[in-house]
Chain A
Amino acid sequence: MLLQLKGIQKRFGGVVALRDGNLSVNAGEVHLLMGENGAGKSTLMKIVAGMQVADDGEMLWKGQPARFRNPSEAARNGIAMVHQESLLAPHLSIAENIFLGREERLPLGWINRSKMVREASRLIEDHRFPLQADWRVDKLSPAGKQLVEICRAIQQGSSLLIFDEPTSSLSEAETKEVFRIVKALCTRGIGVIYITHRLEELRVIGDRVTVLRDGQTVHSGPLGELTTEQLIHHMVGREVAAIYQRNPLPPGEELLRVHNVTRAPALRDISFTLCAGEIVGMAGLVGAGRTELCRAIFGVDPIDSGQIWIEGKQVRVRSPREAVRAGVALIPEDRQKTGLATALPIAYNLTMASLPSVSRFGFLRLSSERSIAGEYTKKLRIKADSPKQRAGRLSGGNQQKVVIAKWLVRGARVFLFDEPTRGIDVGAKVEVFEVMDSLVRSGAAILMVSSEMSELLQVADRILVMRQGRITGELPGHTTQEQIMRYAAFDTSVTTTEEHPA
């Protein structure tokens, strides 16, 4: 037994993040840690890695009671974390990053660069990583950066590696590579804790699984005995099918027609239509071009060729401003970065896209802004003290509702939802789906990009599948995950000669 956690508790102010965290990891196994957002996975791992200190509970490291006060203490004891977002120094070389803070020294404080490069190269060859010690880190893909973090951990002599959703930003090929490396680490007797949301990864990589829900360990055991349904049941605490169901509407007039839109190399010959009353799902793997498609329709990136019609009129959208004027709304994937002014009040965010209609001759009508803000915070059940509260202080789900409400205020009719449920909890997800449903009932059309196939199956009327910049399939809303995967992951077309994997 490498690591054992018993009854770990942690609270932040009034919020209980962990009430009963239990976990045991053996040397040489991949232990999956699962649970919904906010279940306490990250907090538990931060406690193990010394980034946070538990309020109560017991931690045994290699059989001895342990309590790490900071990450370097945990690292000295052989625990390392590979982060979702890279914590490397981008302008330094791979070798320099591997040895960062523990440089090989010569007398007079000189750094033994050649020895560092030599050792880094040996490490890289030893594990057959596709890297070179003298490459600069900022030139690497996200996967490459993760490999560097893994190198760092191995060089430190770690016996436990924690991966926090390592594949969330990786392509399929890169994911396979990470899996191979994780397996290889295990055969050397290193224990691995692996946090993931992706159900399809589980069986490939995991040996045992621990599920957290609401800060408690609710299940722990070998993966083989568990069906996926049981696993989801542990995570959610109820049956998946019961999360959300909607009744489709008969589609109305055509609101968006995209014809042969190409933007090399991300998008090729994209054609589809959206009608009033429809929610059309867009499935595909990361990197298939779905976000790029939303950006192109919204005028963020110019298109090389092709035509777009909105509400029957052909338009040439050269900027988001023109898209907004034409009645298109984008709910972006990275909410904090492009969707929300977090330092400004909720009310400012709600009217940001509609100021011309709440102003006269350039002067704002603050009373009408106030009533709009009041109306929409109530309508979308945005939980806030007042519309004057800063948007950044809301929870993820409520922030997302503010982003959506911004476009309701604007009166947009064509909605592009890019990963609308990312980073929000189940309750808020259902509320977002309800808003989407009421939108199409009031005559809007929605394109919903999602990597969660189960969500698309629950919400969408039909599902388009993208692969390598093309639409490879159109499926009815009651299709299966296997069908979607067939179009998303495998070559189903005949003319494939010019296609190469990225």
Chain B
Amino acid sequence: MIQRLLPFFTLIALFIILAIASPNFLTSTNLSSVVRQTAVINIMALGMTLIIISGGIDLSVGSIVALGGLIGATAMEKKWGIPAGMAVGLLIGTACGFANGLMITSLRINPFIVTLGTMGIFRGLALIFSNGLPVHDIPPSFSYLGEGTLLGVPFVLWILLFCAVLMHVLLEHTRLGRYAFSIGSNPDAAFYAGVPVRFDTIAVYSIAGLLTGLAGMIEASRLMTGQPTGGQGYELQAIAAVVIGGGSLRGGEGSVLGTLVGAFIMGLLSNGSDLLGTNPYWQQVIIGAVIILAVSVDELRKRRMSS
């Protein structure tokens, strides 16, 4: 049990260490900026949690962030208004996820390969659609989504909490969530038990796509641009957050709380390195080492449990 909470303790320890080491850490400006910086990855990671629990993986989410944000921003540029623009962005995300799920289930290709392909396809579509140019002409009030404050905390924190609660309920209290665990743990046993494996797999990828579309809109709002080249490498950060939080790439394991903790550990590491003036090149080394460490500790725990 103690080992299971290890990521959680790590987060708290990291928090305390940074609070002592840097006077600028515990300021509302800094904490808000940590939240804003990690919100995009965090929301993507929620969707990734669902996918990884169902035994899959999605490498295309970074491209979906770009494509969703770009087309949503374009809709606003065309004076469709903010709500419609948001809806377009979320819809694009969902459609991309749906396409991933459809191909994985009907072509019966490994999700790693399918989404490796669509990572390029979605990125290419964003570049084709925008001619490679960012979209700037967005209504100024749209910046509230990513930069605004509600009840004293960043608005994105409310969005994140809302999404996290929904995802937790989905995973632990709905049929779809339970089926995701079953499919991830043993797809054959799920199929033999009459679980609608195909439908649910598509639903899982679509829901993750929806969340990724939302992340794309938040990213667009923070930058006040639709960037066809945005979101690169985000997929790996989202995957890292899930596995640091105890998700298993073999499927059947993972939790919302773990993923949130994982994403915040990465956020604090990068924020802390900034505050302490660590060489930014070293940041990458540190975060990489943390990923390996976290997963090896988790593996050790599981091996001890099963023996």
Q: Which residues of A contact B (CB under 8 A)?
A: 298, 300, 320-321, 323-325, 330, 332, 337-344, 348, 352-353, 355-356, 359, 362-364, 366, 392-393, 406
Whether the Cβ atoms of A344 and B252 lie closer than 8 Å is yes
Whether the Cβ atoms of B195 and A337 lie closer than 8 Å is no
Which residues does chain B contribute within 8 Å of A300, judged by CB atoms? 192
Given contacts A340-B189, A341-B252, A352-B182, contact A364 B174 (CB under 8 A): yes
Whether the Cβ atoms of B189 and A341 lie closer than 8 Å is yes
Given contacts A362-B174, A362-B176, A363-B173, contact A343 B253 (CB under 8 A): yes
Which residues does chain B contribute within 8 Å of A344, judged by CB atoms? 181-182, 185, 252
4 additional A-B residue pairs with CB within 8 Å, beyond A324-B193, A344-B182: A323-B194, A330-B192, A343-B252, A355-B179
* B186 smallest CB distance to A (angstroms): 4
Q: Which residue of B lies closest to A365 (CB)?
A: B173
Whether the Cβ atoms of B174 and A348 lie closer than 8 Å is no
Chain B, residues 146-185, CB within 8 Å of chain A (1/0): the string is: 0000000000000000000000000001111011011001
Whether the Cβ atoms of B192 and A341 lie closer than 8 Å is no
Which residues does chain B contribute within 8 Å of A342, judged by CB atoms? 185-186
Q: Which residue of B lies closest to A322 (CB)?
A: B194
* B255 smallest CB distance to A (angstroms): 14
* B171 smallest CB distance to A (angstroms): 11
Q: Which of B173, B175, B192, B253 contacts A332 (CB 8 A)?
A: B192
Whether the Cβ atoms of A356 and B175 lie closer than 8 Å is yes
The yes or no answer to B191 lying at the interface (CB within 8 A) is: yes
Whether the Cβ atoms of B178 and A338 lie closer than 8 Å is no
The 12 listed contacts between A and B (C-beta, < 8 Å) are A320-B194, A337-B189, A338-B188, A338-B191, A339-B192, A343-B186, A343-B253, A344-B181, A344-B252, A352-B189, A353-B195, A359-B174
A392 to B174, CA, bound (A): 24
Whether the Cβ atoms of A352 and B195 lie closer than 8 Å is yes
Which residues does chain A contribute within 8 Å of B196, judged by CB atoms? 321
A341 to B175, CA, bound (A): 16
Which residues does chain A contribute within 8 Å of B252, judged by CB atoms? 341, 343-344
Whether the Cβ atoms of A348 and B173 lie closer than 8 Å is no
The yes or no answer to B295 lying at the interface (CB within 8 A) is: no
Which residues does chain B contribute within 8 Å of A406, judged by CB atoms? 193
Which residues does chain A contribute within 8 Å of B306, judged by CB atoms? 392-393
A352 to B189, CA, bound (A): 9
* A298 smallest CB distance to B (angstroms): 8
Interface residues in B110-138 by Cβ distance below 8 A to A read none
Interface residues in B181-212 by Cβ distance below 8 A to A read 181-182, 185-186, 188-196
Which residues does chain B contribute within 8 Å of A340, judged by CB atoms? 186, 189
Which residues does chain A contribute within 8 Å of B179, judged by CB atoms? 355
Q: Which interface residue of B182, B193, B306 has the most chain A CB atoms within 10 A? A: B193
Chain B, residues 74-89, CB within 8 Å of chain A (1/0): the string is: 0000000000000000
Q: Which of B178, B181, B194 contacts A321 (CB 8 A)?
A: B194
Whether the Cβ atoms of B175 and A359 lie closer than 8 Å is yes
Whether the Cβ atoms of B188 and A337 lie closer than 8 Å is yes
Which residues does chain A contribute within 8 Å of B188, judged by CB atoms? 337-338
Q: Number of A-B pairs whose CB atoms are under 8 Å?
A: 75
* B129 smallest CB distance to A (angstroms): 35
Which residues does chain A contribute within 8 Å of B173, judged by CB atoms? 363-364, 366
Whether the Cβ atoms of A362 and B189 lie closer than 8 Å is no
Given contacts A341-B182, A344-B185, A344-B252, contact A320 B193 (CB under 8 A): yes
Whether the Cβ atoms of B190 and A352 lie closer than 8 Å is yes
A320 to B253, CA, bound (A): 25
Which residues does chain B contribute within 8 Å of A343, judged by CB atoms? 185-186, 252-253
Q: Which interface residue of A300, A325, A332, A343 has the most chain B CB atoms within 10 A? A: A343
Q: Which of B175, B189, B194 contacts A325 (CB 8 A)?
A: B194
A320 to B193, CA, bound (A): 7
A301 to B15, CA, bound (A): 56
* A325 smallest CB distance to B (angstroms): 7
Q: Which of A341, A359, A393 contacts B186 (CB 8 A)?
A: A341
* A90 smallest CB distance to B (angstroms): 19
A300 to B189, CA, bound (A): 12
Q: Which interface residue of A338, A352, A355, A406 has the most chain B CB atoms within 10 A? A: A352
Whether the Cβ atoms of A321 and B195 lie closer than 8 Å is yes
Q: Which residue of B lies closest to A324 (CB)?
A: B194
Given contacts A344-B252, A348-B181, A393-B306, contact A320 B189 (CB under 8 A): no
* B254 smallest CB distance to A (angstroms): 12
* A373 smallest CB distance to B (angstroms): 13
Given contacts A343-B252, A344-B252, contact A320 B174 (CB under 8 A): no
A363 to B174, CA, bound (A): 4
Whether the Cβ atoms of B175 and A352 lie closer than 8 Å is no
A298 to B192, CA, bound (A): 9
Q: Which residue of A lies closest to B307 (CB)?
A: A13
Whether the Cβ atoms of B178 and A364 lie closer than 8 Å is yes
* A381 smallest CB distance to B (angstroms): 22
Given contacts A348-B181, A352-B182, contact A338 B174 (CB under 8 A): no
A253 to B195, CA, bound (A): 29
* A320 smallest CB distance to B (angstroms): 5
* B218 smallest CB distance to A (angstroms): 28
Q: Which residue of B lies closest to A352 (CB)?
A: B193
A339 to B253, CA, bound (A): 19
Which 3 A-B pairs have CB atoms at the shortest separation, nearest pair first?
Answer: A324-B194, A341-B185, A353-B193
A359 to B174, CA, bound (A): 8
A366 to B172, CA, bound (A): 9
A332 to B191, CA, bound (A): 12
Which residues does chain A contribute within 8 Å of B194, judged by CB atoms? 320-321, 323-325, 353
Q: Which of B175, B191, B192 contacts A362 (CB 8 A)?
A: B175
A420 to B156, CA, bound (A): 54
A355 to B196, CA, bound (A): 11
Q: Which of A325, A338, A355 contacts B192 (CB 8 A)?
A: A338
* A218 smallest CB distance to B (angstroms): 30
